[in-house]
Amino acid sequence: MTLKQIANMAGVSISTVSRILNSPDNSFATKEVRDRVWMCAREIGYVPDQNARELKLGKRTSRKSAPPSISCILGRTRQLEDDPFFAQVSRAIEQQALELGYAVRHSYSLFDIETDSLLDQIESSHTDGAIILGRFSNDSMSFLEKHYKNLVYVGRNVISANCDQVICDGYEATQIAMMHLIANGHKRIGYIGETLNEVRFEAYCDILRKYGLEYSDKWVSNCPQNGPGGYQGAEELLTKASPLPTAVFCATDIAAIAALRRFSEARIKVPEQLSIISMDNIELSGYVSPMLTTVGMPIVEMGNWAVQLLIDRLNKRHNLPAKVLLPNKLVIRESVAKRSVSNR
């Protein structure tokens, strides 16, 4: 389990592997190369050679056992490519685990738990604990508790579960986004995202009520909070909302980026005719045109805290379920325009 092995498997140099695995902001090399290197590292269960590190520091060691390992599990999506937010959280988890001498040996989606091959992999992987990314059903919780003694949940909403949780409050993030739109003079505000048992939709409705703003079903698109869902949601607004709202809150950046594409195809100018705001602050949000105004979540810190909580529990440093609440931050870019009194 060496850097040379990873380099050979990924078809890159040893120095490239080292710089990717140790990049503090996951920015070295292209995404394709980064993903390939991390896939190879995960496949062989790579962790840094702790013996070599201690020898360099003049310490003696007799560690011979295999390094401890953890699993990373997707709750709401089948694969990381479908959810850039949790893909970035997952990468932060891998980097932090690596730094602390743990290997992320097994990653899978809860959508696949019924397959025999996955059950065999879970039984044979012998991981010490698991981190779950995104919400999941009660049935899934029963499955997880059966196969893992130690669990940490990472998401945008607090869940009713007896496990450690790392949360960036989606309700608060939506409030921040809505207040930014209102501060810029927007009174007709639409919504693209899920509506059933979704705190972001609850926050959207609560803010409208609080400030006496109009609610209309024509301005709300109930759709999946991913790329295809965002495109579908924009299409729905274009079909049923006449006139369009002056601004739209999208439940995720990736949905907002897809909606931006559909509005552009319809020759709707953003932000001159329609402002768009969302939440997450994924890497891509700063590279679209116009650049996306969003409520950012501390993605790296979410991953770091998840690993730290899991390791603390493995080492019996705490027994009661812990909740770490991390702050949101408004990131102002180009997709929200100020409305004049005459065109509100």
Residue 344 reports pLDDT greater than 70: no
Residue 49 reports pLDDT greater than 70: no
Residue 13 reports pLDDT greater than 90: no
Distance of CA 113 to the CA centre of its chain: 21
Q: Are 206 and 213 in contact (CB under 8 A)?
A: no
DSSP string, 137-200: -HHHHHHHHHH-S-EEEEESS--S-SSEEEEE-HHHHHHHHHHHHHHTT--SEEEEE--TT-HH
pLDDT tens for 132-163 read: 999 888 788 888 888 888 999 999 988 888 89
Helix H or strand E segment including 99 = helix 84-99
CATH architecture of 3-169+299-328: 3-Layer(aba) Sandwich (3.40)
The pair phi, psi for residue 78, each rounded to 5°, is: -80, -30
Q: Are 187 and 243 in contact (CB under 8 A)?
A: no
Please state the pTM of the whole predicted model.
0.82
pLDDT band at 58, cuts 50/70/90? very low
Mean pLDDT of the 110-128 span: 76
Q: How far apart are CA 220 and CA 233, in angstroms?
A: 8
Q: Structure tokens of 45? A: 């269960």
The type of residue at 309 is L
Q: How far apart are CA 72 and CA 104, in angstroms?
A: 7
pLDDT tens for 242-298 read: 999 999 999 999 999 999 999 999 999 999 999 999 999 999 999 999 999 999 999
The residues, any chain, with a CB within 8 Å of residue 39's CB and separated by 6 or more, are 10
Domain boundaries, the chain: 3-169+299-328, 170-296+330-343
Mean pLDDT of the 114-128 span: 74
pLDDT band at 77, cuts 50/70/90? confident
pLDDT tens for 195-249 read: 999 999 999 999 999 999 999 999 999 999 999 999 999 999 999 999 999 999 9
Domain at 170-296+330-343, CATH homologous superfamily: Response regulator (3.40.50.2300)
pLDDT band at 36, cuts 50/70/90? confident
